[in-house]
Structure 1
Amino acid sequence: MSQDRASQELEMLRDAKKEGGLATLKTYTKLSGPGWLQSAITLGGGSLSGALFLGVIGGYEFMWVQMLAMIMGVIMLSAISYVTLSTEASPFRSLKDNINPVLAWGWLIASMMANLVWVLPQYSLAYAALSQNLMPEAFANATGDGSKYLVSIIIFAIVTGITLCYGSKGLGIKIYEWTLKIVVAGIVISFMGVVIKLATSAEDFSMGEVLVGFIPDFGTWFRPAQTYEAFLATLDPEARDYWTEQIVSAQRTRLIGAASAAVGINMTFLLPYSMLNKGWKKDHRGLAIFDLSTGMVIPFVIAVSCVVIAAAYMFHGKPFEGLLIEENGIVQVDETNKGYGAYSGMIAGRDSAAAANPDFSATLSDGEKRIAALLINRDTGAFANSLSTLTENKAFSNTVFGIGVLAMALSTISMLMLISGFVFSEMLGVPHGGMVHKVGILCGGTGILWPLLWSGGSKAFLAIVTSTIGYIFLPISFLAFFLMMNSKSVLGDELPQGGKRVLWNVLMGISLIITGSAAAYTATTKVLFGFPIGTVGLVGFVVAVIAGQIYMAKKR
């Protein structure tokens, strides 16, 4: 952004504050931007899948999960914005030079790794939206991976052109931000349309149950959602204990997965540099918090809540479609059904547990078959098909859902490319917007290889490694900015004092404890080929951070 434009914005803010609250809000709305970039990246495939899986496993009882995760994320992002705008300097360099170089480089490297890997499923999601929802006829005869690569190359070219607008500063940033505002609005409207149609056409839909679901219930970490109680009551004690454990484990996995999709490690890297690129300074701190609240929180909560509502109504407490067949009171399983693979895997685990416990009956009961069928995940294709049944208009549901999913994928690809540009610039210590920044943006092209890398065993491998890194490093970045918010050497006279400092520390401390606990639990459960990669990675990084602190102490 040019110096003249930045000065004009500062003058607008000062004049608006003199006029009062309404004028300030109006000016804040006009000048907002980085919050919408955050919204564009968080409303991606991870959020969509997380919301869908939450609705399937927990129904309306899990409405609160992503909202609470977003609130915690905004607390920390607000701290990041405060540090960045107070120092008006690169947070990476401030962290490296004043707090801990291991935290700084860990933050940067983890952000880049997350970008390179998670861009792969975004291309996959975009292709699925085009081939299954928006233009199925055009892909009816597609064989092999040729069409996947062609579509991905076209997507890369379009998104790269849009993303490079950001590197041109000034008007380019404005065009880029407004493009993403329109995209985010399209995502929200698409999923709102789904719920509006549901509320007006489904007689058994209860908005009261939905609203109650926004009240946090941490008890679901330890017990199954209420819907499962009736199914569990029909089982023998040993079977009941086994399936209770399976349900609770599945709920924990979905809770952590959905929460982690709300705010990722790479989002903490995007925010400070998008603000610095706009020329924001100390006087923009109030605008930054408003921008995060309206540009990120509101669109995210509305969009993911709509997905949870629709998924809960259509799938929660219902066996996988067509898998179970009941005749004369006997439950049979259709082995040709596409859900049978997941079902048989769960039953194999059950049989192993029964073989190790003499009190556990080897005979599979009908009640156990029903519970196993309830726990099978649905994909976005099943979601769209169910919407067709709900709306009684396949073209309408596919179009609305497809637009929302495609917008999610494209906006996230663009954001991941933009973050990569920031990472490259900070890594090499050069100004943003130049050739190094543009080379970093082009790293988003690795997503074109998703047909090769994001399938079968490769997909499982990448998912395990990346989720481990992401979960471990997110609270590490939170810790970094917690320390910076309490550092006199970083903030100087801008260090919060008195009640403000207490409030900041309480809010950040709660967010850090919750995300840190979830990260530690997740890390210790990650195993790769029998090797406890999560535990080793967590312990190794903690040791490295301690070494970094010792180094900084000697340096001082």
Structure 2
Amino acid sequence: MIGPAPMPEPPPSEPDSIRGLPMVEPPDPAALAAERRWLVELDRAPAPRRWWAFLKRGGPGYLQAALTLGGGTAASSLFAGAAFGYRLLWVAPVAMLLGVVMMAAVAHQTLSTGLRPFPAMKRYAGPVFAYGWAGGALLASIVWHFAQYSLAGAVLEDIAAVAGASLPRALGGALVLAWAVVVVAGLGGSARWTRLFDDGLRLLVYAIVLCFGFVVLRTGIHDPAALLRGYLACEIPAGRDGVSGLAVVISGLAAAVGVNMVFLYPYTLLARGWGRAHRRLARFDLVAGMFLPYLLATSLMVIATANVLHYGDAPFSGTRLSPVEAAAALAPVVGDTWGRVVFDLGVLGMAMSTIALHMLCAGFVCSEVFGWKVGSGRYRLACLLPAPGVLGAVFWGDMAIWLAVPTTILCGALLPLAYLGFLRLQRSRAYLGEDRPRGLLGAAWFGGMVLATLTITVFLAWYAVSKGPGFLRALSG
């Protein structure tokens, strides 16, 4: 397993207990030294050669892409394409670009100091920020787990139906849970297994993109000029059939990066032993491993759905659209057998990758808050905290009204709280020392972080005002 360059000696005032990540099986020191020499050599190489080497090596950016490419992203992308055609293609890249700005700051802080982010935030920003961040990450990973199993069970049922078989959603959910438990159980204890997991997730992200790319090839491009305008115009369309274009835009801007992603990311850096020497690689990895796959997958889903449901003859009610309903609508165009199955497999890959990473995030949160070693028995048990989400394969439709609104509001409030904590850390001389970004670039970076925080805050306010009263009426009725 690859890992970091050794950190400089901590100052006497800095407790060693918050430096580095306690692991049952830490990265191999010899491998770390070899990678450090490799990175030093690449620093002197031409940019194209360096980028190609970084692309082949990869990093935890793919994990973030796999986590955010879940059921919520699938549903919002399909809905945007069906309701508004190509006009909202700009939302996904803008949303993820804001996420990259914030995640790059998290990487810079973590790799520059070598300190674990939770105790660092507790010490240099305040306990309220730290515990709000950890609590939001754990809550989001548990509650939104139910929706992922609902999606996985539904597409497995649809794939079985295409094959002329019957697969109950409960059984499909159980199969996915068994897969996730086996995969996550090996993480943190075996460097080889962790590397296989990284490579597997990278392949899964590529497979998701290829599946949706196949669908777009079959449907074609309705209007190339409109496609280009969709990326460049940044327009907010008027409502259609009671669906607000502004609501879809705000939801899309806020959904790209979740509070559990922000918690998981720096710990995946530390689990690899990454340090100062990896800062350039980490920035590249956020673009190549997180931004580009997210952009491709969401764009292809919007385009495919727009071709059939917005510009085509297939009916769209303007109220709701599930991925399985989209697969059925696409079937006459892409093929009722293989085309439909390929689309379903892309959606299934999104759900399965998110399920595994929700479990991984729960393990990291509990290990950090309670001081457990990554890879220990207690860490593995903590990874199972989201496992009851398998009930979502059958019951999510009944549970969503009671869980979705309050969880979105609560986790939505905790994400900007975490962002405010990272804003404080980004400006903290006591924390970053000489690594604190300065000058015009530092100001622009900080401004991007503020913009990302404001975007999340606006979404939370809009969601609370628009959805909160209905939830309270349902609760009291």
TM-score (norm 1): 0.76
In the alignment, the residues of structure 1 paired with residue 272 and residue 358 of structure 2 have an alpha-carbon distance, to the nearest angstrom, of 18
In the alignment, the residues of structure 2 paired with residue 130 and residue 374 of structure 1 have an alpha-carbon distance, to the nearest angstrom, of 25
Kept in 2, the 8 Å contact 1:114–1:466? The answer is yes
In the alignment, the residues of structure 2 paired with residue 415 and residue 57 of structure 1 have an alpha-carbon distance, to the nearest angstrom, of 30
Select which of 76, 88, 91 maps to 1:65. Answer: 91
1:513 matched to 2:446? The reply is: no
Would the alpha carbon gap of residues 403 and 320 (structure 1) be closer, same or farther in structure 2, given more than 3 Å must change?
Answer: closer
Provide the secondary structure at the position in 2 that maps to 1:33. coil
Q: Which residue of 2 aligns with 1:179?
A: 200
In the alignment, the residues of structure 1 paired with residue 155 and residue 197 of structure 2 have an alpha-carbon distance, to the nearest angstrom, of 23
Provide the secondary structure at the position in 2 that maps to 1:433. coil
Would the alpha carbon gap of residues 216 and 466 (structure 1) be closer, same or farther in structure 2, given more than 3 Å must change?
Answer: farther
Would the alpha carbon gap of residues 23 and 529 (structure 1) be closer, same or farther in structure 2, given more than 3 Å must change?
Answer: closer
Kept in 1, the 8 Å contact 2:253–2:455? The answer is no
Matched letter for residue 328 of structure 2:
N
1:490 matched to 2:424? The reply is: no
Select which of 149, 152, 155 maps to 1:123. Answer: 149
Question: Rg larger in 1 or in 2?
Answer: 1
Provide the secondary structure at the position in 2 that maps to 1:378. coil
Select which of 208, 221, 233 maps to 2:225. Answer: 208
Quote the offset at 1:475 in angstroms: 2.1
Quote the offset at 1:132 in angstroms: 0.7
Kept in 2, the 8 Å contact 1:316–1:374? The answer is no
Matched letter for residue 351 of structure 2:
A
Q: Which residue of 1 aligns with 2:23?
A: none
In the alignment, the residues of structure 1 paired with residue 133 and residue 205 of structure 2 have an alpha-carbon distance, to the nearest angstrom, of 27
Matched letter for residue 22 of structure 1:
P
Kept in 2, the 8 Å contact 1:130–1:136? The answer is no
1:382 matched to 2:325? The reply is: yes
Select which of 272, 275, 298 maps to 2:269. Answer: 275
Select which of 45, 66, 82 maps to 1:56. Answer: 82
Unaligned runs of 5+ in 2: 1-26
Q: Which residue of 1 aligns with 2:404?
A: 463
Kept in 2, the 8 Å contact 1:41–1:415? The answer is yes
Quote the offset at 1:216 in angstroms: 4.5
Would the alpha carbon gap of residues 259 and 500 (structure 1) be closer, same or farther in structure 2, given more than 3 Å must change?
Answer: closer
Quote the offset at 1:150 in angstroms: 2.9
Select which of 327, 333, 339 maps to 1:397. Answer: 339
Q: Which residue of 2 aligns with 1:314?
A: 308
Farther-moved stretch of structure 1 (497-506 vs 403-412): 497-506
Provide the secondary structure at the position in 2 that maps to 1:60. coil
Provide the secondary structure at the position in 1 that maps to 2:337. helix
Cα RMSD, aligned residues only? 2.2
In the alignment, the residues of structure 2 paired with residue 529 and residue 206 of structure 1 have an alpha-carbon distance, to the nearest angstrom, of 39
Q: Which residue of 2 aligns with 1:293?
A: 287
Farther-moved stretch of structure 1 (117-126 vs 72-81): 117-126
Matched letter for residue 110 of structure 2:
T
Kept in 1, the 8 Å contact 2:156–2:169? The answer is no
1:243-262 matches, within 5 Å, as 246-247=242-243, 250-262=244-256
1:91-102 matches, within 5 Å, as 91-102=117-128
Farther-moved stretch of structure 1 (521-530 vs 112-121): 521-530
Provide the secondary structure at the position in 2 that maps to 1:196. helix
In the alignment, the residues of structure 1 paired with residue 228 and residue 366 of structure 2 have an alpha-carbon distance, to the nearest angstrom, of 44
Quote the offset at 1:93 in angstroms: 0.6
Provide the secondary structure at the position in 2 that maps to 1:268. helix
Give the number of aligned pairs: 448
Q: Which residue of 2 aligns with 1:475?
A: 416
Farther-moved stretch of structure 1 (10-19 vs 101-110): 10-19
TM-score (norm 2): 0.88
Kept in 2, the 8 Å contact 1:96–1:103? The answer is yes
Where has structure 1 moved over 6 Å in runs of 4 or more? 317-320
Matched letter for residue 213 of structure 1:
G
Q: Deviations over 1:31-59 (max 9, x none)?
A: 32200100111111111101011112222
Would the alpha carbon gap of residues 374 and 454 (structure 1) be closer, same or farther in structure 2, given more than 3 Å must change?
Answer: closer
1:278-357 matches, within 5 Å, as 278-316=272-310, 321=315
Would the alpha carbon gap of residues 151 and 514 (structure 1) be closer, same or farther in structure 2, given more than 3 Å must change?
Answer: closer
Q: Which residue of 2 aligns with 1:445?
A: 387
Matched letter for residue 208 of structure 1:
A
Unaligned runs of 5+ in 1: 229-242, 322-372, 534-556
In the alignment, the residues of structure 1 paired with residue 248 and residue 428 of structure 2 have an alpha-carbon distance, to the nearest angstrom, of 36
Would the alpha carbon gap of residues 259 and 532 (structure 1) be closer, same or farther in structure 2, given more than 3 Å must change?
Answer: farther
Farther-moved stretch of structure 1 (119-128 vs 178-187): 119-128
Matched letter for residue 226 of structure 2:
E
Matched letter for residue 417 of structure 1:
M
Farther-moved stretch of structure 1 (104-113 vs 258-267): 258-267
